[in-house]
Structure 1
Amino acid sequence: MQVINLAEPFNKSILPTGDVVLALGFFDGVHRGHQAVIQRAKSEAKKHNVKLAVMTLDMHPSIPFKGVKPQDIKYLTTLGQKNKLFESLGADIMYVVSLNDLLVKMGPQEFVDKYMVGLNARAIVAGSDYTYGKKNIANMQILPKYAKNRFEIIKVKHLNDKEQKISSTRIRKALLCGDIKCANELLGYHYQNNGKVVHGEQRGRKLGFPTINVAVNTQEMLPAEGIYVVKVEIIGKNVLGMASIGRNETFGEGRKVTLEINLLDFSQMVYGENVVVNWYYKLRGQVKYTGPAGLIAQLEKDEENTRNYFKKIR
């Protein structure tokens, strides 16, 4: 898949030639609703024997349009994760559009001319609530006015789950509650976090449950505090584990939230390695113990429950 970054003003010479079907959206999470949009665009591209292009943005639109501070945004998927997911859905081209000042100030007609017609779109596919600027003047209902019959417009209806719209907002709420099962059902795959193995306090080793400490990008959303069943992609392996998101209050108050993972049947030194954490199930909430003995007993139960979980899903 070809990845093309577009920052206003961009040079048209970087654009590939030939018509495309263009799927539009921010696609945070690339959840089942987003997948339906991209799959509809893919079938349209096959029908016309053209390439499928997917357009996303380099930041959450609420930052420039609503004044939200960048540090206050927690993403479900990084651009790197979107890249992999778009490619798995059959995209040929990924456009990453920079939401710089010039683009934010651009009117809807100019945006359509440059970022739809200008990208050789013979058809545009988007969710029915997609906007390409201020909602009241740049929505899907008004798009035919700006399109001027130069491309086909395909609106994809919301996909529902349990009679509610599948949305990034619902997934965030599920993660904030630690409801991994719900989040994964809405995503259509296991929620992931990317991180790097860093040095910790090595307390787990003394307890008989050595852990890796994972530093996750601050803009990625972590599930709620608790103990979880996970699979970790590390040095080319998929390793079962039990993850703890919490403050280790058994060993003191006022500690920062950390992500520690006890990898089962794995003992290699992996400091500095990049990992992908796949979240499967929440075992329990965090508990403050009076001392190490109670914690060790609980960890033994957690390991047993983790192993049983994976036996069951096999």
Structure 2
Amino acid sequence: MEIINLHHPIDTKAIHQGPIVLALGFFDGVHKGHQKVLKAARQEASKRNIPLAAMTFNMSARFMFQEEHPKELRYLTTLPEKKRLMQHFGVEILYIVQMTSAFAKLAPQLFVDQYIVGLQAKTVVAGFDYTYGKKDIANMANLGDYGQGRFHIIEVPKVEENGVKVGTTEIRQTLVETGDVATAKKQLGYPYFFTGIVIHGEKRGRELGYPTANLMIDETNVVPKVGVYAVECLINGDLYKGMASIGYNITFGDNRERTVEIYLLDYSLDIYGEEMTVYWHKYLRNELKFDSADELIEQMNKDEEMTREYFKENSPYKEG
């Protein structure tokens, strides 16, 4: 996949030279709704025998319009994770537009002229709720007027899962952040994941017979709610089953920092400094405070048993 970074105004020498099918969206999470857009665009590109391109942005427009402070922004996928997913779903050219005030102030007609026609899009594919400015004027209903017949438009309707709209905000706020990673998996079409670096922790798990990998993650990642989960972890191309604990280690004191700790089943190699991708499959329980280390060990034994039972009954995720 070719990745092209765009800064307004566009340097026409930097873009792909030739006609494209262009999929539009922010694509945070690249969930089932986004996948339907990409599938329709891929079919159109195949029919026309031209490349499939997608356009996204380096950050959410919520920051630009002061709806959220940059430190408060949380994403289902960081930019590297989004790139990985876009390639997996068949995108050949990925345009990443830098979200600047100059770009954000573009009138809808100028956006269409410069970022659709200017990129030589012969067909544009987007979801029913895609906007490119103020919702009342820069929506899919008006795109044809701005396009003036210069490109074909494919509008992808709303995607639902069990009667509920599949959407980034819904997945982030009502599923992942509440710990319902099992339902998030259904709406995403894959288990929710993020990638971090294994760092040194307090090594208390080692003393309890459960050595854990302490994970340092990007601060913009959405983190599931505090609790214990059945997970799979990708390390150096190999997938391992495990259980994860998100919490504050309240058994060992108050006012502690939140940690993400992973215990890998049947795997005990030193992995400090390694990159680990964690796939979140099932919420097992909330964080509990125990009166003794023995009580904690007893509960961890139960957690391990539940984790093993889960993976006996559910097929592991296969990296695409």
The TM-score by the shorter chain falls in which range?
over 0.9
CA distance in 2 between counterparts of 1:113 and 1:57 reads 18
CA distance in 2 between counterparts of 1:28 and 1:189 reads 14
CA distance in 2 between counterparts of 1:236 and 1:107 reads 45
Deviation at residue 227 of structure 1 after TM alignment: 0.3
Paired residue secondary structure (2:149): coil
Are positions 1:154 and 2:133 aligned together? no
Residue in 2 that maps onto 1:145: 145
**Counterpart of 1:3 in structure 2: which amino acid?**
I
Residue in 2 that maps onto 1:234: 235
Residue in 2 that maps onto 1:37: 37
Deviation at residue 67 of structure 1 after TM alignment: 3.6
TM-score in terms of structure 1 length: 0.98
CA distance in 2 between counterparts of 1:94 and 1:286 reads 41
**Counterpart of 1:137 in structure 2: which amino acid?**
I
Deviation at residue 170 of structure 1 after TM alignment: 1.5
Are positions 1:48 and 2:48 aligned together? yes
Paired residue secondary structure (1:90): coil
Residue in 1 that maps onto 2:85: 85
Q: Could you give the per-residue CA deviations for residues 6-29 of structure 1, whole angstroms, max 9, x where no partner exists?
A: 011231101111111100000111
Paired residue secondary structure (1:4): strand
CA distance in 2 between counterparts of 1:38 and 1:237 reads 28
Residue in 2 that maps onto 1:178: 179
Deviation at residue 251 of structure 1 after TM alignment: 0.2
Q: Could you give the per-residue CA deviations for residues 236-261 of structure 1, whole angstroms, max 9, x where no partner exists?
A: 32111100000000000111110001
**Counterpart of 1:207 in structure 2: which amino acid?**
L
Q: In the comparison of the two structures, how many residue pairs are matched? A: 314
Are positions 1:102 and 2:99 aligned together? no
Residue in 1 that maps onto 2:194: 193
CA distance in 1 between counterparts of 2:200 and 2:73 reads 27
CA distance in 1 between counterparts of 2:269 and 2:134 reads 52
Residue in 1 that maps onto 2:215: 214
Q: Could you give the per-residue CA deviations for residues 82-140 of structure 1, whole angstroms, max 9, x where no partner exists?
A: 11111111111001011111101111111111100000100110011100112122111
Residue in 2 that maps onto 1:247: 248
CA distance in 2 between counterparts of 1:57 and 1:278 reads 25
CA distance in 1 between counterparts of 2:163 and 2:241 reads 34
Paired residue secondary structure (1:141): helix
Residue in 1 that maps onto 2:63: 63
**Counterpart of 2:90 in structure 1: which amino acid?**
G
TM-score in terms of structure 2 length: 0.96
How do residues 3-42 of structure 1 correspond to structure 2 at under 5 angstroms?
3-42=3-42
Paired residue secondary structure (1:182): helix
Deviation at residue 267 of structure 1 after TM alignment: 1.2
Residue in 2 that maps onto 1:290: 291
Residue in 1 that maps onto 2:270: 269
**Counterpart of 1:179 in structure 2: which amino acid?**
D
Are positions 1:280 and 2:268 aligned together? no
CA distance in 1 between counterparts of 2:275 and 2:134 reads 39
**Counterpart of 2:265 in structure 1: which amino acid?**
L
CA distance in 1 between counterparts of 2:63 and 2:189 reads 27
Unaligned runs of 5+ in 1: none
CA distance in 1 between counterparts of 2:164 and 2:212 reads 39
Paired residue secondary structure (2:65): helix
**Counterpart of 1:302 in structure 2: which amino acid?**
D
Paired residue secondary structure (2:145): helix
- Cα RMSD for the two superposed structures: 0.9
Paired residue secondary structure (2:175): helix
CA distance in 2 between counterparts of 1:20 and 1:28 reads 22
Residue in 2 that maps onto 1:76: 76
Paired residue secondary structure (2:202): coil
CA distance in 2 between counterparts of 1:220 and 1:149 reads 40
Q: Percent identity?
A: 46
Unaligned runs of 5+ in 2: 316-320
CA distance in 2 between counterparts of 1:257 and 1:107 reads 43
Q: Could you give the per-residue CA deviations for residues 50-103 of structure 1, whole angstroms, max 9, x where no partner exists?
A: 110011111011111244111111100111111111111111100101111110
Deviation at residue 235 of structure 1 after TM alignment: 2.6
Q: Could you give the per-residue CA deviations for residues 171-198 of structure 1, whole angstroms, max 9, x where no partner exists?
A: 1111121111110000000100110011
Paired residue secondary structure (1:86): helix
CA distance in 2 between counterparts of 1:189 and 1:61 reads 26
CA distance in 2 between counterparts of 1:213 and 1:34 reads 32
